[in-house]
Amino acid sequence: KNRITDETLKLLVQLAQEAGVPERRDAMFRGDKINVTENRAVLHVALRAPKKASIMVDGKNVVPDVHEVLDKMEAFCERVRSGTWKGQTGKRIRNVVNIGIGGSDLGPVMAYEALRHYSERSLTFRFVSNVDGIDFVQATHDLNPAETLFIVSSKTFTTLETMTNAQSARDWLVRGLGGNEKAVAKHFVAVSTNAEKVSAFGIDTANMFGFWDWVGGRYSMDSAIGLSTMLAVGPSKFRALLAGFHAMDEHFRTAPLEKNLPVLLGLLSVWYGGFFGAQTVAVLPYENYLKRFPAYLQQLTMESNGKSVTLDGRRVNYDTGAIYWGEPGTNGQHSFYQLIHQGSRLIPCDFIAFAHALTPLGRHHDMLLANVFAQTEALAFGKTPEQVEAEGTAKELVPHRVFEGNRPSNTILANRLTPEVLGKLVALYEHSVFTQGAIWGINSFDQWGVELGKALAQKIIPELESKTPPKLEHDSSTNSLIRRYRKMKAKA
| Residue-level length of the chain | 492
> How many Å apart are CA 224 and CA 294, to the nearest integer?
22
Cβ neighbours of 218 (radius 10 Å): 26
> How many Å apart are CA 409 and CA 283, to the nearest integer?
10
Identify any residues that bridge with 414 across adjacent strands, giving them in sequence order: 354
> How many Å apart are CA 436 and CA 142, to the nearest integer?
45
Give the CA radius of gyration of the chain.
Answer: 25
Short-list 398, 396, 273, 409, CA closest to 341: 409
> How many Å apart are CA 230 and CA 91, to the nearest integer?
21
Give yes or no: 365 in active site.
no
> How many Å apart are CA 112 and CA 106, to the nearest integer?
10
Q: Half-sphere exposure of 276 toward its Cβ, with a 13 Å CA cutoff?
A: 22
Characterise 112 by phi-psi region: left (phi > 0), alpha (psi -120 to 50), beta (else).
alpha
Q: Half-sphere exposure of 164 toward its Cβ, with a 13 Å CA cutoff?
A: 15
Chain-centroid distance, C-alpha 180: 37
> How many Å apart are CA 148 and CA 200, to the nearest integer?
21
Cβ neighbours of 88 (radius 10 Å): 18
Grouping H, G, I as helix, E, B as strand and the rest as coil, residue 407 is: coil
Catalytic residue of the set 51, 356, 400, 454: 454
Respond yes or no on whether the N-terminal peptide bond of residue 148 is cis (omega within 30° of 0): no
Give yes or no: 377 in active site.
no
Contact 152/161 with Cβ under 8 angstroms? no
Catalytic residue of the set 52, 141, 334, 487: 334
The H or E element that residue 281 is part of is strand 280-285
Catalytic residue of the set 287, 303, 327, 430: 303
> How many Å apart are CA 230 and CA 250, to the nearest integer?
23
Torsions phi, psi for 33 (to 5 deg): -85, 75
Q: Give buried/exposed letters for 254-282 (b at 16+ CB in 10 A, else e).
A: eeebeebbbbbbbbbbbbbbbeeebebbb
Give yes or no: 454 in active site.
yes
Cβ neighbours of 451 (radius 10 Å): 10
Residues with a known catalytic role? 303, 334, 454
